[in-house]
Chain A
């Protein structure tokens, strides 16, 4: 078989292109002089790595306080938005799967359209709504906005899972005397759980990373992690702390994914 060297070279270069900024994010978290973002000192000597910025994070130093506050606000909003959008997304997928008709066509259009709209349009239209209703922007408006764009993603993920779901299982549950609610909670929901969890994870990542929509509806003074970081163009003194915190987040996510992969593998081995 003929090897395609050209395609493989392009793949290699693309991987390099994708990873260079990540490597730099990790490296910048360890440099001692934050302002110049250089690895060399004034006379060109190479500066040693140190953990100054990590110390600031772990000791909750005053200079990093705002950054940490914004980070925990992001986690809080992402968590709440995930829970709410999982509930709404799952009921939405169930309805779309179970019934057909004019109501469901309209419902499908409503769920599908946010997926193809650029974020900024969702952001501006929500801002207009809050302006028209004269609502003060803050925590609650951010939460509402995040739920709105997460619902569609959860619904589509669960719907994909429902396509493989065997409806005969539900019939069997009814025949054995289960009511609709029991059948749903004891039979259908556990079988759908992987889909709901996948949708929830997607919702959490989208919510914690969102900057466009949040920057429209956050009002003055409320900052999530991404909007706080993007406002740092003017005061970049703390930038290395941001890079250090991102490195911690990256390590945390990798660990979480690794553990969950290992758990799934263990369960599969047990089943086999």
Chain B
């Protein structure tokens, strides 16, 4: 009987196991092994093992690209979470019938092809379009406000890189082909994936706690920050992962909207793999990207485990305290 069950397990496991082993695990190992080879002139992989590829990664170009990718992904994640928090709060407070409808309408735009939506943005951000006009007036207002600041503050802001030199590039500044376009459209693309997990957590959240806080004199925003946000933190952690990971790997949006200045790791991988056929370099960049995804994943797991441990410890402490108190009394 035992033996037959073992056979059955193998039979049921085999199809998916073998498929993923062949087409996911083995290719990953191939990528890792390719990073330890040089490349040949005709676009192949050199036979002998070497560290040439890893050494070439210090090329001043690459660290800048990796840093830009991480910085932009971080920006995108922050914007998504900042927008998703009030949204999921508002949806969760709607009457029950409305809730499903609004939650559904958040996902509905995703029934149009992703590439087509990016193209719609591309036409909207066109230099002759109305968004460009808005952008220019925004820059003008910003430059005007900047002029009012004391000279010391001005030079500090310029020195810290928080403000690029304002009025000089007004005539050539465009939204299209800039980092701003990439962040904007990425937030547009990933926002529903941030709203959904936070909304799921918010639906289970007990809103009478907020009321209690207000009755005790807390301002609305204070109650939101101190009661609601910690109450949905599990949802926030999954939302961060749902946005940050695809943002790190994003390649279509910067390709179509980022122009020549906004090249991210994804674009570089594609360039190296398809256009100039340098397979070891593409592999090494992919390994770097995997690393920058696994680090936040690991942090999230560690955080969750620490939370669990802390909850357990708090429970144990509380129990111990009660028991000794009881003993004293």
- The answer to whether A89 touches B191, judged by C-beta atoms less than 8 angstroms apart, is no
Could you tell me the distance in whole angstroms from the C-beta of A173 to the nearest C-beta in chain B?
Answer: 16
Could you tell me the distance in whole angstroms from the C-beta of A105 to the nearest C-beta in chain B?
Answer: 12
Which of A4, A11, A111 is close to B20, meaning CB atoms less than 8 Å apart?
A: A111
- The answer to whether B17 touches A119, judged by C-beta atoms less than 8 angstroms apart, is no
- The answer to whether A127 touches B246, judged by C-beta atoms less than 8 angstroms apart, is no
User: A246's closest neighbor in chain B, by CB?
Assistant: B116
- The answer to whether B93 touches A126, judged by C-beta atoms less than 8 angstroms apart, is no
B297 within 8 A of A: yes
**Known A87-B15, A250-B112: A118·B293 in contact at CB below 8 Å:** yes
A73 within 8 A of B: no
In residues 49-106 of chain A, which contact B (Cβ within 8 Å)?
A: 87-89, 91-92, 94-95, 98-99, 103-104, 106
Which of B16, B108, B111 is close to A111, meaning CB atoms less than 8 Å apart?
A: B16
- The answer to whether B109 touches A19, judged by C-beta atoms less than 8 angstroms apart, is yes
- The answer to whether B30 touches A110, judged by C-beta atoms less than 8 angstroms apart, is no
- The CA of A128 and the CA of B290, in the complex, are separated in Å by 15
User: B192's closest neighbor in chain A, by CB?
Assistant: A18
In residues 235-272 of chain A, which contact B (Cβ within 8 Å)?
A: 239, 242-243, 246, 249-250, 253-254
B56 within 8 A of A: no
Contact with B along A138-182 (1 / 0, CB 8 A): 000000110110011001000000000000000000000000100
- The answer to whether B87 touches A121, judged by C-beta atoms less than 8 angstroms apart, is no
- The CA of A183 and the CA of B123, in the complex, are separated in Å by 56
- The answer to whether A7 touches B23, judged by C-beta atoms less than 8 angstroms apart, is no
Q: Which among B16, B21, B124 has the greatest number of chain A C-beta atoms within 10 A? A: B16
- The answer to whether A209 touches B20, judged by C-beta atoms less than 8 angstroms apart, is no
Interface size class of chain B, counting residues whose CB lies under 8 Å from the partner chain: 35 or more
A225 within 8 A of B: yes
**Known A110-B25, A114-B24, A120-B249: A18·B124 in contact at CB below 8 Å:** no
Could you tell me the distance in whole angstroms from the C-beta of B2 to the nearest C-beta in chain A?
Answer: 12
Contact with B along A1-31 (1 / 0, CB 8 A): 1101011101100110111111011001000
B315 within 8 A of A: no
- The CA of A8 and the CA of B246, in the complex, are separated in Å by 28
- The answer to whether B119 touches A242, judged by C-beta atoms less than 8 angstroms apart, is yes
B175 within 8 A of A: no
- The answer to whether A28 touches B123, judged by C-beta atoms less than 8 angstroms apart, is yes
- The answer to whether A229 touches B16, judged by C-beta atoms less than 8 angstroms apart, is no
Could you tell me the distance in whole angstroms from the C-beta of A183 to the nearest C-beta in chain B?
Answer: 12
A191 within 8 A of B: no
- A42 neighbours in B (Cβ, 8 Å): none
- B241 neighbours in A (Cβ, 8 Å): 116
- The answer to whether A209 touches B289, judged by C-beta atoms less than 8 angstroms apart, is no
- The answer to whether A132 touches B30, judged by C-beta atoms less than 8 angstroms apart, is yes
- The answer to whether A151 touches B13, judged by C-beta atoms less than 8 angstroms apart, is no
- The answer to whether A225 touches B191, judged by C-beta atoms less than 8 angstroms apart, is no
- B246 neighbours in A (Cβ, 8 Å): 118-119
- The answer to whether B19 touches A243, judged by C-beta atoms less than 8 angstroms apart, is no
B72 within 8 A of A: no
- A125 neighbours in B (Cβ, 8 Å): 24, 27-28, 30-31, 286
Total interface residues in chain A, CB < 8 Å: 82
How many residue-residue contacts, CB under 8 A, span A and B? 229
Which of A95, A110, A242 is close to B116, meaning CB atoms less than 8 Å apart?
A: A242
- The answer to whether A230 touches B115, judged by C-beta atoms less than 8 angstroms apart, is yes
A46 within 8 A of B: no
B256 within 8 A of A: yes
- The answer to whether B283 touches A128, judged by C-beta atoms less than 8 angstroms apart, is yes
- B128 neighbours in A (Cβ, 8 Å): 38
- A152 neighbours in B (Cβ, 8 Å): 20
Contact with A along B92-111 (1 / 0, CB 8 A): 01000000001001101111
- The CA of A226 and the CA of B26, in the complex, are separated in Å by 27
Could you tell me the distance in whole angstroms from the C-beta of A263 to the nearest C-beta in chain B?
Answer: 17
User: B30's closest neighbor in chain A, by CB?
Assistant: A128
B270 within 8 A of A: yes
User: A148's closest neighbor in chain B, by CB?
Assistant: B23
Question: Can you identify 25 A-B contacts, CB atoms within 8 angstroms?
Answer: A4-B89, A4-B93, A6-B86, A6-B220, A15-B106, A21-B188, A22-B112, A37-B123, A37-B126, A91-B12, A92-B13, A95-B17, A103-B9, A110-B24, A126-B23, A127-B273, A128-B283, A132-B30, A208-B113, A211-B114, A211-B115, A249-B111, A249-B113, A250-B111, A254-B111
Question: Could you list 14 further interchain pairs (A-B, Cβ under 8 angstroms) beyond the known A10-B86, A91-B15, A121-B290?
Answer: A1-B211, A18-B188, A22-B117, A28-B123, A37-B123, A92-B17, A118-B248, A120-B249, A121-B249, A125-B28, A129-B30, A212-B251, A230-B256, A250-B112
Binding site for B on A (CB under 8 A): 1-2, 4, 6-8, 10-11, 14-15, 17-22, 24-25, 28, 37-38, 87-89, 91-92, 94-95, 98-99, 103-104, 106-107, 110-111, 113-114, 116-122, 124-129, 131-132, 144-145, 147-148, 151-152, 155, 180, 205, 208-209, 211-212, 215-216, 225-226, 229-230, 232-233, 239, 242-243, 246, 249-250, 253-254
